[in-house]
Structure 1
Amino acid sequence: MEAITHFRDAHKFLSNFFVLPSPILWLGHECPTVEHAYQLSKTRDQGWQKLIATAIMPGQAKRIGNKRNLPLREDWEDIKVDTMTELLRLKFSSGILHHALLGTGDVELVEGNWWHDNFWGSCVCQSCGNKGKNWLGKLLMKVREEL
């Protein structure tokens, strides 16, 4: 089966770090990327949410969202996949991104990475062996199927 194995270059629109044509309104905050919205979903604290939503770059939003002193929602592990699913539905609901996702056809989408993320993606380093769960890829394919 043919696959897209990384979300950069021609496929960077699949990345959660891709800056959206129009911000997503999520939990009362305008978010320039899915990463911003996902990270601020981790907490109910409005101050932290605002700090994440206004981060200049998605990597900065991720770093803030991963801080040890972030007051994490008690149900976060139970809702994080559903949260990502809803955010991806919003991202690809219309416009150019809708057509771009459909344009991937029926190929497998794999968020290949080298930073050992084997939950959302599949790390390609020798020690990880490309055996990740690839939840981001699976959810993108699910959303694509729903379109």
Structure 2
Amino acid sequence: MTIEFYSTKDTYGEFSNFAPFPFEIDGLVYPTSEHYFQAMKFSDAQYQERIRETKSPMIAARLGRSRKVKIRDDWEEVKVDIMRTAVRAKIFAHEDLQKLLLETGDETIVEAAGRDYFWGAGKDGSGQNWLGKILMEIRTELREAKIT
């Protein structure tokens, strides 16, 4: 069986980067993992802060996709690690998310994003599903932490 998620309103919607589970990194609170991920695309501290403080993850995503402000030169090299940092911080900050993730057992977790072939599965399922892979990595970390 495969566990799919996409919309925050659907089953397992808590795994979405738009789900409202705040967490703290470097002394700053981010309302969602989307806020953190989009803010980290930029070196400009003021623009990062503008994204962090925006009201919704949709606006954070829009600001992050804007190319009016230059994205960092190393973005393609660091984006997976930045997403991993965001998702790990989100999951570890919320016991209910840890429990939900552990309850997925050994199932494959897939972001059912039809237009995203990098973070999600894409329309035809051929996407790289990096967000799902990161969630499964963190699930393994949680299991190992509970054992030791």
Q: Which amino acid aligns with 2:15?
A: L
Aligned mates of 1:140, 1:7 — CA distance in 2: 13
SS at match of 1:56: coil
Q: Which amino acid aligns with 2:85?
A: E
TM-score by length of 1: 0.88
2:125 alignment counterpart: 130
| 1:10 and 2:2 are equivalent in the alignment | no
Aligned mates of 1:57, 1:47 — CA distance in 2: 18
1:82 alignment counterpart: 81
| 1:101 and 2:104 are equivalent in the alignment | no
Which residues of structure 1 form unaligned runs of 5+?
none
Q: Which amino acid aligns with 2:96?
A: I
Q: Is the 8 A contact 2:3 2:109 kept in 1?
A: yes
Aligned mates of 1:75, 1:104 — CA distance in 2: 34
| 1:39 and 2:38 are equivalent in the alignment | yes
Aligned mates of 1:63, 1:74 — CA distance in 2: 19
2:62 alignment counterpart: 63
TM-score by length of 2: 0.88
Q: Which amino acid aligns with 1:145?
A: T
Aligned mates of 1:70, 1:29 — CA distance in 2: 22
2:29 alignment counterpart: 30
Q: Is the 8 A contact 2:24 2:89 kept in 1?
A: no
- Give the deviation of 1:29 after TM superposition: 3.2
What do the CA deviations read for 1:21-57 (whole angstroms, capped 9, x no partner)? xx22235532100000000011111111111011111
SS at match of 1:86: helix
| The structure with more helix, counted as a fraction of residues | 2
Aligned mates of 1:122, 1:26 — CA distance in 2: 28
Aligned length: 139
Aligned mates of 1:103, 1:92 — CA distance in 2: 13
Over 3 Å counting, the alpha-carbon distance change for 1:7 and 1:105 in structure 2 is farther
Aligned mates of 2:47, 2:37 — CA distance in 1: 13
SS at match of 1:10: coil
What do the CA deviations read for 1:91-121 (whole angstroms, capped 9, x no partner)? 111411111111111110110123x110000
